[in-house]
Amino acid sequence: MVSTRLRSRPGLVLISASLVMSLVLGTLFVVTHRMDNPRGAETPVAPLTDEETRAQVLDQARQFVGAGKLGAAKGVYLLMSCSSEEKPPYQGTVRVHFDVPSVAETPAYFRQIARAMEAYGWREGLPPGRHPGGRTLAKGGLIAVYFRDPDLPGRGLLKISGECRHFADHRDDPPGFVDITGELQG
């Protein structure tokens, strides 16, 4: 008896109308959700100023120099575009050269740096490509990579990259690194 009612013309119309209504309401839900948040489920992050972008990586470089006991540290800072077109957003980048022990002692030294940085919230990641024996550490949206510098015997290179949260346009700025060696201590 029930199956004959569902197969009747009014039953088929009712089922079809229910399915179409569900489809329409589902589509409206998705469309209105996208209008409220066009980037999807992500919550946009607050942009950083020039000073905040620089401080984000410089403060971390100071921690590495102090806690990691990086000897004879010399560093440079660069505001780098996160796109291949040199347009916003930008990220702060620090490069620090430092003394490393002999090749045989370097792995233990690099482990000691990683352990020291764990106290500051850094966590070890996958080893960096093209740099055997190097280390990669991450903290929040920052990445630090350090390894023996193949171009400078007896020296290591630490690269810290900040978050891509600086949206001011710097395409017309003079290119080049800024020496921060004097700011690495303290």
Condensed to tens digits (0 to 9), the pLDDT of residues 28-39 reads: 777 776 555 555
| Tokens describing residue 149 | 């510098």
pLDDT for residue 16: 80
Our count of domains for the chain comes to 2
Could you tell me how far CA 172 lies from the centroid of its own chain? 25
| Tokens describing residue 73 | 């540290």
| Tokens describing residue 185 | 């201590």
Q: What is the mean pLDDT of residues 132-150?
A: 90
- Structural domain span for residue 122: 50-183
| Tokens describing residue 85 | 């077109």
In sequence order, the β-bridge partners of residue 81 are 90
pLDDT for residue 6: 60
Residue 114, domain member (yes or no): yes
Q: Are residues 102 and 79 in the same domain?
A: yes
Q: Are residues 17 and 68 in the same domain?
A: no
Q: What is the mean pLDDT of residues 154-172?
A: 87
* Least-confidence region, from 15-24, 46-55, 62-71, 102-111: 15-24
Residue 123, domain member (yes or no): yes
Q: Are residues 169 and 101 in the same domain?
A: yes
Position 47 pLDDT exceeds 80: yes
pLDDT for residue 35: 56
pLDDT for residue 85: 74
How far is the C-alpha of 178 from the C-alpha of 69, rounded, in Å? 23
How far is the C-alpha of 16 from the C-alpha of 99, rounded, in Å? 75
Residue 108, domain member (yes or no): yes
Position 110 pLDDT exceeds 90: yes
pLDDT for residue 45: 73
- Phi and psi of 178, rounded to 5°? -110, 130
Going by the DSSP 8-state scheme, the letter that residue 182 receives in this structure is: G
Residue 174, domain member (yes or no): yes
Q: Are residues 92 and 167 in the same domain?
A: yes
The SS3 of residue 91 is strand
Give Cα separations from 49 to 8, 94, 168 (angstroms): 68, 17, 8
* Least-confidence region, from 29-38, 41-50, 58-67, 155-164: 29-38
How far is the C-alpha of 50 from the C-alpha of 159, rounded, in Å? 19
Q: Are residues 80 and 19 in the same domain?
A: no
61-96 per-position pLDDT tens digit? 999 999 999 999 999 999 888 887 777 888 999 999
Position 102 pLDDT exceeds 90: yes
Is residue 81 within 8 Å of residue 88, measured between CB atoms? yes
